[in-house]
Amino acid sequence: MHIRLRSNLLAAMLLCFAFVAQAQQKKDITLEDIYKKGTFRSQSVYGVNWMNDGRYYSSQVPDATNKVYDIVKYDVTTGKPVATIIEGENLVPTGSNQPIQYDDYTFSSDEQKVLFSTDTEQIYRRSSKAEFYIYDIASKKLTKLSDGGKQLYASFSPDAKRVAFARGNNMFVTDLSSMQETQITTDGKFNAIINGYADWVYEEEFSFAKGFHWSPDGKKIAFYTFDEANVPEFNMQMWGELYPQDNKFKYPKAGEANSTVKVSVYDVNSGKTVKMDTGNEADIYIPRIKWTNDANLLSIQKMNRLQNTLEILHANATTGKTSVVLKETDKAYIDITDDLTYLKDGKYFIHSSEVKGYNHLYLYSMNGKLVRQITDGNWEVSEYVGYDEKNDRLYYMSTEVSPLERHLYSISSKGKKKQRLTDKEGTHHVNMSNDFTYYLDYYSAANQVPTVSLHTAKDGKLIKMLEDNQKLQNTLAQYDLAKQEFFTMSTSEGNKLNGWMIKPTDFDPNKKYPVLMFVYGGPGSQTVTNSWGGSNYLWYQVLADKGLIVVSVDNRGTGARGADFKKVTYANLGKYEIEDQIEAAKWLGNQSYVDKNRIGIWGHSFGGYMTLLGLTKGEGVFRAGISVAPVTNWRFYDTIYTERYLKTPQENAAGYDDNSPLFFADKLKGELLLIHGTGDDNVHFQNAVAMQDALIDANKQFESFYYPNRNHGIYGGNTYMHRFTMMTDFLERNLINPKGESVNQ
């Protein structure tokens, strides 16, 4: 008995030692793992192009030679290929003996032709141009769309007979039976008139670049025309050549002239173009146009310059005559979405609105009369997915469970039979099949790697796990990871703010730790969500391993908590946001395990702006900050975004100046690292230059770094590795292991 007991005890001890040894063998994440080696790269299900039969989708697949890509048809229920639709080796244009290397593809409505894009050139965030080819599946013939130069946004007509595209600021259409190309507009001119695609500010702030749409019957094209002749021109220098090159483009800064915009409809049979009547006022926005299910009725959304009045117009495409069917006003501003949906019966449309304090869905008759509110409650419809008219099921994503989560629901158009279709706590994004039979669920949660699964839409039933990222999970299991934890705090004014915290894995509540706060904080945004944090989350693991607590708090002005919480910052952008971040820092400083003298802050873009406000208006609560690509005065930023939240500088000068860090440079307390890309077409390098000038005038020492020719994201090649190495070093010197007190304290 004693011998067996000793044996068992010895075995238990050895097992215990083995576990301890295994725990001790866990690795620490390095910057090279994140930004150079791709150690933690997650997998997903990309390129899912739903086919007419919702059971199938197509995708690009490298063939046996890996030199070309085939188009393969998959059965979504099994995830297995069922047929090769197009052999990549057959994509050989006339006059060549080599197949094209395509970037993307689109099927015609009858799935008999395919439009391929090649040699794509990125222009701005959403815009690009490419060479396009038409492939006929039956004849296996590949034809170049045009010999006139690269095209923008080539698109099949719904009847698959034509392709429309833009080029050189003009619109064109090609008849596929004859390949005859017709130029629709002739007045296009660089930096003056744009036909068929958006100007810079519409692309950036209204989130679209393609500026034309086919009518449902394929016989008409509605398109935008932007006259940007009077918009001031911005000039950036691009470095690298013996003589730097000028990059000039039209950029309307707050209070300056916008493009004047009109909408026209071209009839492909008659060749006539008719301008739609949007009223006599020129200083307006037209953030959306879309066809109703009536091939002669175009829907136009029109806004005033302050963006607090929205009108939905219905336009007769033949005459251009319009009527206002719905008008909405707001004491602050109205956000534009893509939720407007016209029902196939031609009698109703669905529209989302914050009119009652939370974003919800409403059903209207075609004359704009409210039929009913479909969704209701103190929560937000965060995304409208679509309406299955056959089964009267409307699908949407919402925050009903929590502002930190996103879930899929269905409901009838009568607002009945509401059903939650996603059950796992966290954040879900869905890709719904065209016939509303299936959806792909792209899911993640804090501390939970992303997965992709297939479900039936009617009940949310799981059919198949398509990507579980088990390889990434196994990789992460080899590393010592700190958990991301959520918390809620209250400010002195009683405002409840959501936050998350990452503590070191060897956290000792009896010690005092430095804290780094990550902030974005801009209107309608969120950094505090129950979702996988990606590369930033992994960088925070590196910092936590160095003894730093990382925290993020969503201030007033952020999203998912209703219009009042979001729009309280109206006309005072930055004021309440930074007040909340300062209060959050003080709250953290009162925690027994936090060293209140070592609290830092960092952010990118709006978060960079917030970082500068924290260091200048924070009265020393922040010891150090990293400001990346910040706006330093909203007068420098574009009209649509800035005036939506601040009005124009002419109407609200104080709203611009009272919260500009340029005017508080003399109050800088704490160490500052200021980073910007010189090729930033969005938040111009001018912002960093002005801030540095103000700090120099105030005789304040700081660190700065610029990345040549990098845009707003500041990436490419070794850029991320370089940037985050520099940022980590700055935090080690000034927050984690500071030597002496800050020169600006």
What pairs with residue 250 in β-bridges? Answer: 233
Would you call 263 helix, strand, or coil by DSSP?
Answer: strand
SS3 sequence of 50-108? ECCCCCEEEEEEECCCCCCEEEEEEECCCCEEEEEEECHHHCCCCCCCCCCCEEEEEEC
3-state helix, strand, coil in the chain (%, to 5): 20, 35, 45
First to last CA, the chain: 70
Cα distances (angstroms) measured from residue 195 to each of 165, 172, 187, 211, 683: 10, 10, 8, 8, 26
Q: Which uninterrupted H or E stretch holds 321?
A: none
Q: Find the catalytic residue in 215, 605, 627, 660.
A: 605
Tokens of 488: 């809620």
Beta bridge partners of 485: 501
Please state the separation of Cα 58 from the chain's center in Å: 25
Question: Which strand (E) or helix (H) includes residue 274?
Answer: strand 273-275
In degrees and rounded to multiples of 5, residue 216 shows phi and psi of: -55, -30
CB-side neighbour CA atoms (13 Å) of 502: 27
Q: Identify the burial level of 552 via C-beta atoms within 10 angstroms of its C-beta, where 0-12 means exposed, 13-18 middle and 19 or more buried.
A: buried
Task: Sheet with 462-467: list strands edge to edge.
Answer: 427-432, 438-445, 448-456, 462-467
Q: Can you tell me the distance from the alpha carbon of 48 to that of 79, in angstroms, rounded to the nearest whole number?
A: 11
CB 691 within 8 A of CB 723: no
Annotated catalytic residue, options 352, 680, 681, 684? 680
742 catalytic? Reply is no
The pair of three-digit structure tokens given for residue 709, joined into one six-digit string? 């020719």
Length of the chain: 745
DSSP annotation of 663:
G
Edge-to-edge strand list for the sheet holding 162-167: 152-156, 162-167, 170-175, 180-183
Cβ–Cβ < 8 Å for 633, 690: yes
For the question of residue 666 being annotated catalytic, the response is no
User: What does the block give as tokens for 286?
Assistant: 């037209």
Q: How far is CA 15 from CA 3, 8, 9, 11, 452, in A?
A: 18, 10, 10, 6, 37
Instruction: Give one DSSP letter per residue of 665-708, joined into a string.
Output: GGG--SEEEEEEETT-SSS-THHHHHHHHHHHHTT---EEEEET
> Where are the extended beta strands (E) located within 389-495?
393-398, 407-411, 419-420, 427-432, 438-445, 448-456, 462-467, 484-490
What residue type is 301 in one-letter code? Q
User: Tokens 């047929």 label which residue?
Assistant: 83
The alpha helices in 590-657, defined as continuous H runs, are 606-617, 639-646, 653-657
- Whether 680 is catalytic is yes
- Taking Cα atoms as reference points, which of 709, 513, 710 lies closest to residue 600? 513
Rg (CA), the chain: 28
Which residues belong to the active site? 605, 680, 712
